[in-house]
Amino acid sequence: MTVFFVLLAAAALAAWWHVRRQRAEDAAQHGRDLAALKEKHAGTLEFQQRRMETLLDSMLDGLIVLDATGRIALANHAAEMLFGFSRQMIGGSLLEAVRHHEVAALAARLNTEQAILDHELLLEGSPPRVLQVNAIALHDAAGTGTGAMLVFHDLTRLRELEGARQEFVANVSHELRTPLSLIKSAAETLIDGTKTDPVALDRLLQIIDRHADRLTLLIDDLLLLAKLDSERLVLHRQPAPLRAAAQEVFEDLAPRARAREVRLDNSIPDGLLASADPDRLRQVLSNLVDNGIKYGRAGGVLTVTASPLTGGRIEVCVRDDGPGIPREALARVFERFYRVDKARSREQGGTGLGLAIVKHAVQAHGGEVRVESEPGQGAAFYFTLPAV
């Protein structure tokens, strides 16, 4: 009997011990599962946070999120670049980070307003920037304010383009109006009765003819420039022998060169082939040689040279020995309608578009243009083209 009870107690003890061990193992397993789950969760959170940061940093617009106390909770790379603050400023005040009272005032307005849209802001500095700000107040599900979000869109480039477009339209109107008004007044004089005086009649008809030609030239240049600019231009590239191209241009412009007694010197070595559209190449060379004749020294020399560069390019240079270009004008001569001497350009029949056409035509080939000039020592215009 005693033995039976002892066996029973032993069996009960073993069963209890097993259950206890099982529970301990279960608890340990549970702990391990929990830890793994936490780790996974933390990993997912970190992954999501990194993904969000990458996403925000890839935005072109600046973004600043404020917490309920008005401190910076989040800012993306574009915002840091716009206002020149570092990531360490996160957690700090908005004003300290952006150093711009108007931005801080906008954020303060969100305490009473839900949203401020399309607010334009001028950021002083070099260069100054025009920003469009959209700002909204943030709320949780219960409607309690949790902060604000400000998005900054940089309008500087757009404004510059708008300004350039307006200036271009104003220039075009002015350029068209000048020959038109001369044609009109010559026609009015004719209508008023100069028809009987053959000398006056001839002079007035010459005026009409000359300025009608000028209008045609201007419109042709404008259309060409618009084509070059819009990338609608299809280049018919082919191996173009540079020496022969310069020779053709020299022949076309020989009468003009003769009139100013300018000697044309083709020093391009034989065998240099550019990969270029022959019509565009001729246009580029023609505009540069024509300028060299017009603005160079009467009785001077105009030289065209070319040499291979590294990277499969060829550089062509058109050089004259005239008065050159003032230093302050060098950066502007490739702009549309920019002229150093307006009266002289008009008198020579210039449209003010020749060098802009050169620049765009060369760039369409993937090349570059530049000019070098020392006052009194001539001007040298360089352009590159891909070699064959």
Interface with ligand ADP (CB under 6 A): 287, 291-292, 295-296, 320, 322, 325, 333, 338-341, 345, 350-356, 379
How near is the Cβ of 329 to ligand ADP at its closest, in Å? 7
Three-class SS state of 322: coil
How near is the Cβ of 343 to ligand ADP at its closest, in Å? 10
Instruction: Give me the torsion for CA of 316, 249, 206, 182, rounded to 10°.
Output: -20
How near is the Cβ of 369 to ligand ADP at its closest, in Å? 11
Other beta carbons within 10 Å of 166: 10
Nearest to ligand ADP of 322, 367 (CB atom): 322
Nearest to ligand ADP of 135, 318 (CB atom): 318
Contact 344, 301 (CB under 8 A): no
Residue the block writes with tokens 């309008």: 155
Nearest to ligand ADP of 154, 221 (CB atom): 221
Tokens of 281: 């190449």
Contact 73, 90 (CB under 8 A): yes
Three-class SS state of 222: helix
Nearest to ligand ADP of 274, 353 (CB atom): 353
Tokens of 224: 């060409």
Contact 148, 107 (CB under 8 A): yes
How near is the Cβ of 171 to ligand ADP at its closest, in Å? 12
**Long-range interactions of 329-335: CB distance < 8 A, separation 24+:** 330/371, 330/373, 333/371, 334/358, 334/359, 334/369, 334/371
Contact 106, 116 (CB under 8 A): yes
Nearest to ligand ADP of 183, 353 (CB atom): 353
**What is the length of the chain?**
388
Nearest to ligand ADP of 152, 381 (CB atom): 381
How near is the Cβ of 148 to ligand ADP at its closest, in Å? 51
Residue the block writes with tokens 């800012």: 75
Q: How far is CA 210 from CA 195, 277, 294, in A?
A: 19, 31, 18
Nearest to ligand ADP of 97, 293 (CB atom): 293
Nearest to ligand ADP of 149, 318 (CB atom): 318
How near is the Cβ of 309 to ligand ADP at its closest, in Å? 22
How near is the Cβ of 238 to ligand ADP at its closest, in Å? 26
How near is the Cβ of 327 to ligand ADP at its closest, in Å? 12
Sorted by sequence, the CB contacts under 8 Å of residue 343 that are 6+ apart come out as none
How near is the Cβ of 268 to ligand ADP at its closest, in Å? 18
Nearest to ligand ADP of 76, 283 (CB atom): 283
Radius of gyration of the chain (CA): 38
Residue 326 preceded by cis peptide, ω within 30 = no
- Among candidates 275, 358, 280, which has minimal Cα distance to 313? 275
Nearest to ligand ADP of 186, 369 (CB atom): 369
Tokens of 175: 């350029």
How near is the Cβ of 240 to ligand ADP at its closest, in Å? 22
CA angle, residues 165, 168, 171, in degrees to nearest 5: 155
